Amino acid sequence: MRVFLRYAVRETFSNLWRNRLMTLAAVLTVAVSLTLVGAALMFKQSASQASVVWEQQTKVTVWMNASAKPAEMSSIESQLKASPYIHGTCAFQTQQQSYHQALILLPESMSSVLRVQHMPSAFLCVPVVPTDASILISTFSGQPGVLTVTAPIKAIHQMQQAIRVVQYVAIALALTLLVSAIVLILNTIRLAIFARRREVSVMKLVGATNWFIRMPFISEGFMQGLFGSLVSVGLLVLLHIWYPFTGNEFHLSTQDLVGTSIVVVAVGVLIGSIGSAFAIRRFLDV
């Protein structure tokens, strides 16, 4: 067994160097293909992360009448705390804060007639999921002391549709690129083995078993897939560094990059090894 492993390792690196042009072609094919696949996966993760951030920023505002009684305010606050559709605790906006906000948002011609005592106070709540906003609106609208309940329902719906489309496109793109990568890599490996078909025939004629012949080629495919995927990981790291959305909700963490890199390396190694095993099958029947 030790002799066989030593032979496989020696033959692997010897053949990689002897056929260095084909090896370079295979490595570059793996690198380019898996970089595109990894970029598509990162794009999907980025869209998912942005969706989570946007969901956390979605707010339902329960506006209270300026003349709301303390008992009514307390009742609404208690119901909001007990609601299963609200994430965390609702922030309370006083009449004074509402007045200052109106001064910022409204033109001077309109804000000059406003008075603090006429401004509504409000409870600012974050729903557990954006779709819970509709439930909160129907629950608190019309209750004693409540002026109105507002939430960006239309914007939430458009955001969810956009994120869903982006994720589906990213998944479809990643699968398409993965299939293209497999085809390109298999063809490259098949060409490399075809160039050495006489060597395989001679080994068969002198009594070498199929696995004895196959192992160096599988090891070559493994190394080509490994080298190519490592180059791809390097390119993905550069993409992560130069990512145009750095600093906002689209920016991926280092943990996301590591996860994508592990997937890329695993796919590269599997494609290289399994591709070599299948590519050499046709040359083993002599």
Pick the range with the lowest mean pLDDT from 31-35, 210-214, 272-276: 210-214
State the angle between helix axes of 254-279 and 153-194 in degrees (0 to 180), rounded to the nearest 10. Answer: 30
Assign residue 138 the CATH number of its domain: 3.30.70.3040
Alpha helices (runs of H) in 195-209, residue ranges in sequence order: 197-205
Residues 277 and 164 in one domain: yes
Residue 67 sits in the same domain as residue 200: no
258 and 139 in one domain? no
Judged on CB neighbours under 10 Å (0-12, 13-18, 19+), 170 is buried
Q: Does the reported pTM lie above 0.75?
A: no
Same structural domain, 12 and 77 = no
Predicted local confidence at residue 12, as pLDDT: 67
pLDDT in tens, 29-63: 788 888 888 887 887 777 777 776 776 667 899 99
Question: Residues 55-72: what's their mean pLDDT?
Answer: 86
Res 48: pLDDT: 73
- 187 in the same domain as 245: yes
Q: Are residues 72 and 162 in the same domain?
A: no
Verify that 142 and 224 share a domain, yes or no: no
Helix 2-18 / helix 20-57 crossing angle, nearest 10 deg? 90
In this prediction, residue 247 has a pLDDT band, given cuts at 50, 70 and 90, of low
Q: Judge whether 147 and 95 are in contact, CB under 8 Å.
A: no
- Name the least confident of 17-21, 97-101, 151-155, 231-235: 17-21
What is the C-alpha separation between 152 and 58, in angstroms, rounded?
8
Do 122 and 98 contact (CB within 8 A), yes or no? yes
- Tokens found for residue 21: 């042009």
Which run of H or of E encompasses 182? helix 153-194
Quick one: 87 and 173 in the same domain? Answer: no
Domain extent, residue 89, equals: 59-151
Residues 75 and 203 in one domain: no
Examine the fold and report which residue of 126, 151, 176 is the final residue of a domain before the chain moves on: 151
Same domain, 49 and 143: no
- Do 97 and 206 share a structural domain? no
Is residue 275 a contact partner of residue 218, using CB atoms and an 8 Å limit?
no
Instruction: Please state whether beta strands 60-64 and 122-127 pair in parallel, antiparallel, or not at all (unpaired).
Output: antiparallel
CB 81 within 8 A of CB 91: no
Q: Last residue of some domain: 151, 169, 198?
A: 151
* Domain shared by 265 and 166, yes or no: yes
Instruction: Using the 3D structure, point to which of 151, 172, 204 is the last residue of a domain.
Output: 151
pLDDT reported for residue 121 = 93
Q: Are 130 and 160 in contact (CB under 8 A)?
A: yes
Distances (CA, A) of 152 to 53, 95, 113, 189: 15, 22, 27, 54
What are the tokens at 223? 């190394």
Give CA–CA dist 42/26, Å, rounded. Answer: 24
Percent of the chain with pLDDT over 90: 16
Q: Which residues pair with 122 in a beta bridge?
A: 63, 93
CA 50 – CA 44 distance, rounded (Å): 10
What pLDDT is stored for residue 140 in this prediction? 92
Query: What's the confidence (pLDDT) of residue 78?
Result: 93
58: its two tokens: 């979605």
Q: How far apart are CA 220 and CA 234, in angstroms?
A: 21
For residue range 89-143, list pLDDT tens digits in order: 899 999 999 888 888 877 877 777 788 888 999 999 988 887 788 899 999 998 9
The overall average pLDDT reported for the chain is 79
Domain count across the chain: 2
